[in-house]
Structure formats: C-alpha cells, structure tokens
A = this chain, B = another copy of it.
C-alpha cells in the first residue's frame, strides 16, 4: 500500500552563522522542540534546491522541488505570476509582471503609483479595450500589481524590462536580450503597449479623481519579468500522483498551477508574517485523504531574511514549530521538512547555501541527528541531495515508484 507524501517548504529557512547569535544561524538559535524531535525520528541531510551554489528564486526553487528542470522550463517570472492570479495560459504565450506607476514627463516618479488600492479594475478594463497589434489580456492583481499576457505564440521571451526598477528614472526601452527576431518583436510590442497605456490611463476618471485628492495617478503600466509560458507535463502524468499545493503567494501558486496541481485555499494563509500557520497545518490534515502528495509553502521565514532581522526570523520559525504537531495525526505518510532556498539575514536576499532537510516516516533509516539545523542535518544519513531528487526520494519511500528496468 502506497503512502502519502507531504512536503513542508519553509521559504528562505536556510541561513548563515550570525555574530549576534554567537555564530548560530536563526534556525539553530530558535527553540524548535518539534522539529528537533522529527530530526531525531527521521533521516536528515542537506539539499541544494537547484545545484550547489546556485541561488534559486521561489519560482525556480519550487519547479525543482516538483521535479522539473528550471533550466528547461523557466524563461521569466511573468507566466508564473499570471497563472498564480488565475489566468488561463497556453504554452508559448509571453507574460509579464506589471506595476501601475506614475509618470511625469517620461520620468517614473513612483513605480507603485502610491501603492494604489482601488480603481485598478476600471483602469485594467480601459486597457483591455484598446486596439493593439496582437491579442492580449491585462489583469490587475493586489494593490499596484498586474499581469500582461500577449496571446501570441510567435513571440520570444528574452526581452529587457520597461520598468526602470527605481523611482526617478526614465522609462526604459525594452530590447531583445538574445538578438532573436522573435524577441525583438516582443520588445517592440511591449514598448508600444507601455506608450499606449500612458495615453489611455492619463485621461481616465480614476486618475482624475486621484489627482483631485492629491494622490499620484496610476498613469503608466510598467512591464517586467517577461517569460514564455512553459510546456510543462502535468505532475500527475510525469509522476503518476494526484497532487495539491497550499501557498500564500501567487508566484508559488502559479508554479503549482502550471504543474497541473490543485490549489487548496486557506483563508488566512496570507504569505506574510501575519499568516495563520495553524490553519495551514489544519488544511493539510483536512485534505490529506484526497491527494497522494501535498506541497505546502510557508513564506514567513523569507521576509525577515530579506529584512536582515534575525530576531523576527527566529520568532517566526518558533511559530511554525508550535503549529506542527497537528500533522502528527496523519498516518501512512512521509514528510519532508525543508526550504526552497536560503535567505540569510546576513545577505538580505536569497542565497545558494544548502537547506536543512528532515525526512520522516515509518521506514526511513533513522540516523543520529537530534536537532533541525543547517549543520546538524549536514551530518545525517541522507548526505547531500538535490531539490529535483527530493520528490523521487519521497516517492520511493512511499512505494510509489515504478521500477526502471527488470
């Protein structure tokens, strides 16, 4: 009888020794009695999500964790964001993340348009009504965020951003990075799209109202992160498992959606530090009978990593630890506790440092490790594996792998 597989991905959990913590990492310094117990009951190791020293994004990291080769399927963030907010995509289309921004005399004075909260649906409607050279869909997301999709299969994804990435800079002209004519065509189109967006948005009543209130108008669309919608074989087909994901942030949801996984909605899973970790764990328990494999992304630890706030990282890790025993009611399952990448507080960004990994379940070769940490796990019985191998390792343990050969 095959067992279930549950992967808990603590986003950005891995770290480096911190002076103020006497050379311990935030995870090593955190009080994590439950994770320590799982390390003791399980087999441990370290994991390079993509490859040693490679710095994963949350998108490429989760692609690897699901067994995809990010070097094959990833050309940019756009399609994963688009999929993550529920847009239906077809492989070969080119998608962009966008911001609503504020432009004055060709200078982007605020690339978030004052973090605009209302009216972006009306602005998006106006954009979608415009005449354009190719079929496209533009969709607003949370606050100043949006997504643009060119519904054309002849376009190349390798173009630079229009978004200048800092306030006070002029709009950039998108260019083909690879010199390919298909990407050149995309660059021309996205430059034209931006130009037209200024004309349409500047006169829009939402912006007229904003200016009356002294708010910066959302009078330009700033596309970035172009990517081609990948042709990803569904996980069900690739691995023969029925799978679901719990993820607060659209980017990770998008990866899982494009892998053909179900998304389990958890009302208070915000993807922020205010997320309701207990509800996430309860949702795993509630849904475990419906799936062979559930992946759970808990964004929390990544945020203080980016902020360089080791104290907040420790506290969030401790909140995760407290929430975990709910999962112990699940039987006949193999659990992995790991991350998608490190976000060391000393780096304030993602890093390629390997992740600590526990695998727990009935028949693992329990090792001598007794605590969950970057260094304790490194001495464990799993040695050092890659992210793209993790699901295979779990499927083997859960007796879900067909023999290759005879």
Contact = CB atoms under 8 A, between A and B. Distances in A.
Contacts of A55: 396, 401-404
B51 A392 contact: yes
Given A365-B17, A381-B378, A384-B383, A405 B52 contact: no
Given A352-B393, A383-B383, A404 B363 contact: no
A347 B364 CA distance: 12
A141 to B, nearest CB: 15
A54 interface: yes
A347 B2 CA distance: 10
A101 interface: no
Interface in A35-62: 46, 50-61
Interface string A64-76: 0000001000100
> Max chain B CB contacts within 10 Å: which of A58, A225, A396, A402?
A396
A396 B351 contact: yes
A134 interface: no
A389 B51 contact: yes
Instruction: Please report whether the interface of chain A is mostly helix, strand, loop or mixed according to DSSP.
Output: loop
B406 A59 contact: yes
A279 to B, nearest CB: 26
B396 A353 contact: yes
Contact of A352 (B350, B380, B392): B392
Contacts of A366: 17, 23
A25 interface: yes
Interface in A303-356: 344, 346-347, 349-353
Contact of A404 (B70, B378, B384): B70
Given A367-B375, A406-B58, A389 B347 contact: no
A352 B344 CA distance: 33
A95 to B, nearest CB: 13
A281 interface: no
A53 B396 contact: yes
Interface in A358-406: 363-368, 374-375, 378-386, 389, 391-397, 399, 401-406
15 contacts: A16-B364, A46-B381, A50-B404, A52-B392, A53-B393, A53-B401, A57-B406, A70-B404, A225-B406, A351-B401, A353-B365, A367-B375, A378-B381, A379-B381, A384-B385
Given A17-B364, A53-B396, A353-B397, 12 more contacts: A16-B364, A51-B392, A52-B389, A54-B392, A55-B404, A56-B404, A57-B406, A344-B363, A352-B393, A352-B396, A378-B382, A378-B383
